[in-house]
Amino acid sequence: MPNTNYLSGRRAEYKLKREMETYGLIVLRTAGSHGPFDLIGIQPSLPIVVRFIQVKSIKGKGSVSAAINQFVRKPPLCGAPGVYVQEIWVRKGGKWFSKSI
C-alpha cells in the first residue's frame, strides 16, 4: 500500500490538474517518471506556453516559503530559447501558493 505522503502528493497533483483544465490548459501528469516536474501544462492559445510544474502539499508546521525556496534554488530546466515557464505550486490549508522561475 502506498505511503500517506505519496497519496497526499498525488491528490494535490490531481486537484491542481483539474483546476488548470477548467482554465483551458491541456495538463499531463508525469506519474512514475521521477522527473523534476509533476505536471506539464500547455496553454493552447498563441503564443503557446509550456508550463513545467512541481506540486507540493504541506501539512502541519511545514513552511510554504521553505518549499518554494527549495525549488527556486534548482537550476533552470534548460538554457535554450523558447516559451516555457517553470513553476512550483504548494498547497497548504486548502489554499494554493505559486511561484515561477
- What are 58-73's pLDDT values in tens digits? 887 778 888 888 777 6
Q: CA 90, 32, 76: angle at the middle one, nearest 5?
A: 55
Q: How much is the average pLDDT of 41-65?
A: 85
Whether residue 13 has pLDDT greater than 70: yes
pLDDT at 78: 58
Neighbours of 54 (CB within 10 A): 20
In terms of pLDDT, which residue wins out, 32 or 30?
30
Q: Class of the 4-100 domain? A: alpha beta
Can you say whether the dihedral through the CA atoms of 65, 66, 71, 74 is positive or negative? positive
Q: Mean pLDDT, to the nearest integer, of 19-46?
A: 88
C-alpha 59/C-alpha 83 separation (Å) is: 33
Q: What is the pLDDT of residues 14-30, one digit of tens each?
A: 999 999 999 999 999 98
